[in-house]
Amino acid sequence: MIRFLRAGYYTSLQDEGRFGYRALGIPQAGPMDKKAFAMAQALLPLENDCHAIECTYLGPKMQFEKELHFVITGAQGDFQLDGVTIVLNRVYNGKKGSCLDIGKMTKGIRCYIRFLAQLNVPETMGSVSFYFPITPPTFKNNEVIKGNPLGGSDKAMAHLRVDDRYLNQTVLEAKKGPDWGLLSKEQQHQILQAKLSVIAHNRMGYKLAGGLENDFTSIESQMVIPGMVQLTPGGEFIVAMADGQVTGGYLQVLQLTEEAQSILSQKGEACALTFSYIPH
């Protein structure tokens, strides 16, 4: 149905995620930016199918082997259908043979492509979400996604006005994490005043500079959930994301709200951020 002429960086298939397998050490996966993912679902709703293709930095170039409606949400970028620039949050109709080129992203770093189609991708452990070694890690060049395009003339050309101001946001709202109380008032204050910057990131997590050095060493491994802000002994923050390990031994200081997780998921290296504490 769709052939990847270029796979792009870390392009993966995602649904809501893999639930119920955390007890076996398996992360939930699912979209990094749940807000953009939900928008794609809202624009092209389908019963029993909530897939979207997550693209990072540079997306795929794809050829439609059948006529197909699709929508793109999330990060803005240089996106073209048969050489014509297309916009976010609008349903387009790709013809058989059409070429969709998801070029470099210019604001935000992750976008989602959703097709009006029932994809023919088998679920593993209740989900199609990519997570190695349960599934392949990413798509490859020349790989074909099979499925049945659905006629959706009523949905075609739908366009929603979307509040995408979160792409500009740099404040991460957070509640206290399980170990917040182990910190002194001074340390808590320092964390909330910290000037954060993204050192590195992937689907497992974000590493942020700006933490404080501390002498909390090797805390017993505890459950980690997406959005959890962990402080390393070296003074960095590690924020667990969709593919984050389900357990970890760092100090669990804060928990990002879902909105803050979406904000963070659109940030690349060197982006500056701060926390904002919200009481429970």
- At its nearest, how many Å lie between another protein and the CB of residue 26? 5
- At its nearest, how many Å lie between another protein and the CB of residue 193? 24
- At its nearest, how many Å lie between another protein and the CB of residue 122? 11
Position among 148, 168, 202, 221 found at the interface with another protein (CB under 8 A): 221
- At its nearest, how many Å lie between another protein and the CB of residue 136? 12
The backbone torsions φ and ψ at residue 14, rounded to the nearest 5 degrees and listed phi first, read -135, 140
Q: Count the neighbouring beta carbons within 10 Å of the beta carbon of residue 5.
A: 13
- At its nearest, how many Å lie between another protein and the CB of residue 204? 11
- At its nearest, how many Å lie between another protein and the CB of residue 266? 20
| Site membership for another protein, residue 122 (CB under 8 A) | no
Contact assessment for residue 129 and residue 29, using Cβ atoms and an 8 Å cutoff: yes
| Site membership for another protein, residue 202 (CB under 8 A) | no
Tokens 């949050």 appear where?
Answer: 89
Report the alpha-carbon distance of residue 241 to residue 162 in Å, rounded.
Answer: 24
| Site membership for another protein, residue 188 (CB under 8 A) | no
Position among 5, 19, 82, 96 found at the interface with another protein (CB under 8 A): 19
Region binding another protein by CB under 8 A among candidate stretches 6-14, 49-57, 175-183, 191-199: 175-183
Position among 246, 251, 253, 264 found at the interface with another protein (CB under 8 A): 246
| Site membership for another protein, residue 255 (CB under 8 A) | yes
Q: Which residues contact 245 (CB under 8 A, 6 or more apart)?
A: 25, 27, 204, 224
| Site membership for another protein, residue 247 (CB under 8 A) | yes
Applying CB under 8 A, the residues found at the interface with another protein are: 19-26, 124-125, 133-134, 175, 177-178, 218, 220-223, 225, 227-228, 245-247, 255, 257-258, 280
